[in-house]
Structure 1
Amino acid sequence: MQVSDDELRPLIRRHAVRHAPPEGLAERIRQSVRTEAAATPPALTRKPRDGWKGLAWFGTGAATAWGLALVLLASPVPSQDALAEAVTGNHVRSLMASHLADVASSDQHTVKPWFAGKLDFSPPVVDLATDGFPLTGGRLDYLDGRTVAALVYRSGPHVINLFYWPAAADAKPAAPAFSTRQGYQLIHWAQGGMQAWAVSDLNAAELQNFASLMRERTAPTTARP
């Protein structure tokens, strides 16, 4: 699907991921402005004309510093929401670039082996075609500072991106948590040492149904005595 420049610009403005500025940035800028002020010689030691130049230079520098602070601090994305924003951004980019799958197949026995040697973990891959969510392929993606597995499912015309990667060593299983970003529905959970994020333009009830089925089919089995 080709996207024109006129169509691309509003999409980027809408879906581009914004990041919160580093902690303490505003204070460092304030300190820098105070340092500049302290380093500026008193106006009385200069000729009147030079004094005005100095004041003008300082005023411009201070305005620039504070302008930068306002740009970086305006509408920051809370750190706990940064991953949800990244997941949404990756979903949108996969649709815009028409690159949903590196391996296009509805056969889980084709998709799962494809990841072998490309990841340092084995993602759970199941087909939910009989439940209305057929598997259509998989690809490599990048989230949370690492390469992750992206599994692609469909529900009619709707695309579901399901991202998997290992949870932290001390992470406990977590029930599904639902959220929305930029008109998309997201649901994430932790199970079997993995964390999963599903994102789609499906309605909330259908995406929750998808997540419930996926958790049921990929739940670790307990060995019988």
Structure 2
Amino acid sequence: MNHDEIQTRLSALIDDELPADEAQALRAHLNDCMECREAYAAMLAMGTWIQRDAVMPMPPALAAQLTASLKPVAAIPMQNVKPATGPGKTRTWFWPGLTGLGGLLAGAALMFALLPLWQPQSDLLTQDLLAGHIRALQVDHLSDVISTDQHTVKPWFAGKLDFSPPVHDLVADGFPLAGGRLDYLQQRPVAVLNYRYRLHVIEVYAWPVAGKTAAGQTLQTRQGYQILGWQQEGMNMWAVSDLNGADLQRFAQLLKAAGGAGQRPA
């Protein structure tokens, strides 16, 4: 099959609707084809967005704005509406609720267009982090450089990023380094470090801190995944994993200690 034929089958692959042999062949192709892998990742991201965001309640402020923009139309009994008749007249029907319906549809379209703008930036960030992690798991592309040696992983990023991410091996603590890759987040390239804990995968996204930093540690749960954010060595650090929250927090503290960071996590 060519690229177009394969990409038409990606939706069925995501929904587990393909025979096992065909699904295996498509996954093998995805490992070798960047174009199809990007199309597959885009479909996964869209599915994640629909499941996560399409059922979100409308923010109160947006609901008030839309309500104010829609003018109520008084209902007119149909028996009081007379069609135009007479010589030279064309019979025309008037439906008084059409204006209200059109306004409602326009308001609904506006709501879906503006809804992402009303989401808190912290929510958008964690959604992007989770989407990136799920894409990497789905296409089995967690690392561009596979190594347990921090002196191999850290130099690999040189020349690929405008910063040097902190890379530390925690094998002695049960969290061995597994590799790293590049991703795109918050409108910029970021480093992603991969760690393991038993059978669990931990991805750590890192990029430079910009602007005012916040104190405290952020731990969220989304779709069964834990997302933990902090700062160290001048970097925003966000870990995403299906590991339980307590162990993920312990991992973050060990990583901070390895970096000799004196600041509190954020």
Output the TM-score relative to the length of structure 1: 0.75
Give me the whole-angstrom Cα distance separating, in 1, the residues matched to 2:216 and 2:62: 36
Match of residue 36 from structure 2: none
The reply to whether residue 84 of structure 1 matches residue 126 of structure 2 is yes
Q: How does 1:157-176 map to 2 (within 5 A)?
A: 157-171=199-213, 174-176=215-217
Cα distance in 2, alignment partners of residues 10 and 117 from structure 1: 30
Match of 1:120 in 2: 162
Q: Does 1:179 align with 2:220?
A: yes
Instruction: Between 185-194 and 18-27, report the one with greater CA deviation.
Output: 18-27
Structure 1, 131-140 or 176-185: larger mean CA deviation? 176-185
Partner of 2:240: 199
Which letter does structure 1 place at the counterpart of 2:232? Answer: Q
5+ unaligned residues in a row in structure 2: which ranges?
1-9, 18-42, 74-80, 86-90
**Preserved contact between residue 18 and residue 77 of structure 1 (Cα < 8 Å):** no
Q: Which amino acid aligns with 1:6?
A: D
What amino acid is aligned across from residue 203 of structure 1 in structure 2?
A: N
Q: How many matched pairs?
A: 210
Q: 1:62 to 1:88 in 2, by over 3 A?
A: same
Distance in 1, Cα, partners of 2:120 & 2:99? 33
Q: Deviations over 1:184-220 (max 9, x none)?
A: 1111111222110001111111111110100101124
Contact persistence 2:44–2:135 (CA under 8 A): no
CA distances 1:61-96 after superposition (whole Å, capped 9, x unpaired): 223113325556789744332211211111111101
1:5 alignment partner AA = I
Q: CA deviation at 1:22?
A: 11
- CA-CA distance at 1:159 after TM superposition: 0.4
Structure 1 position 162, deviation (Å): 0.2
Q: Deviations over 1:164-186 (max 9, x none)?
A: 001113326x3432221111111
Give the CA deviation at 1:7: 3.9
RMSD over equivalenced CA pairs, Å? 3.8
Query: Which of these residues, 54, 66, 78, is aligned with residue 107 of structure 2?
Result: 66
Amino acid at match of 1:118: K
Find the aligned partners of 1:215 and 1:16 in 2 and give their Cα distance.
Answer: 34
Confirm whether residue 152 of structure 1 aligns to residue 161 of structure 2: no
Q: Which stretch shifts more, 78-87 or 22-31?
A: 22-31
Residue number in structure 2 paired with 1:41? none
More strand by share: 1
How many percent of aligned residue pairs carry the same amino acid? Answer: 43
Equivalent residue in structure 2 for 1:111, among 141, 153, 164: 153
Question: TM-score, normalising length from structure 2?
Answer: 0.65
Change (3 A) 1:169 1:69: closer
* Cα shift readout 1:83-138 (whole Å, capped 9, x = no counterpart): 11211111111101111011111111111111111111100001111111111110
